[in-house]
Amino acid sequence: MLLVDMLLVIVLGIPLVTAAQRRLHDTDRNGAWVWLVVIPAILMVLIPLTIAIIEYNMRGGAVSMSPVFQIMIAIFTLFSLSFQIAVILVLVWLSLPGTEGPNSYGPDPTMQE
């Protein structure tokens, strides 16, 4: 099931990222801002998984709350809070109306010729 979930994220994620980049261009913002959300989202999956694997292997199969593990959880919590702020910021930008007329990313697609 995990493989299906990962495949679904990839299949749906790529069009969503490109649509968000086009929408940011409509508001005269750089499309690279979408990576402010995408990269942390990927890391929020990889970091806990990596921490769990390292802890599991260090303890010989036993899971415990070592000081290193607790520090990593605190760092991850701060990281997730910054991710939530980034999501809110990008969602606000995506919700704003586009610029009227042409902008630095091209002509207004809604304008009649």
* For residue 113, pLDDT beyond 70: no
In a domain, 79, yes or no: yes
Q: Give pLDDT tens digits for 65-76.
A: 677 777 877 888
- Alpha carbon distance 44, 62 (integer Å): 23
Query: What beta strand segments (E) does 28-93 contain?
Result: none
Domain that holds residue 13: 2-95
The number of domains in the chain is 1
Closest CA to 37 of 16, 8, 11: 16
In a domain, 112, yes or no: no
Number of Cβ within 10 Å of residue 34's Cβ equals 22
In a domain, 41, yes or no: yes
In a domain, 55, yes or no: yes
Sign of the Cα torsion 92, 17, 36, 68 reads positive
In a domain, 84, yes or no: yes
pTM: 0.70
Closest CA to 95 of 15, 23, 12: 23
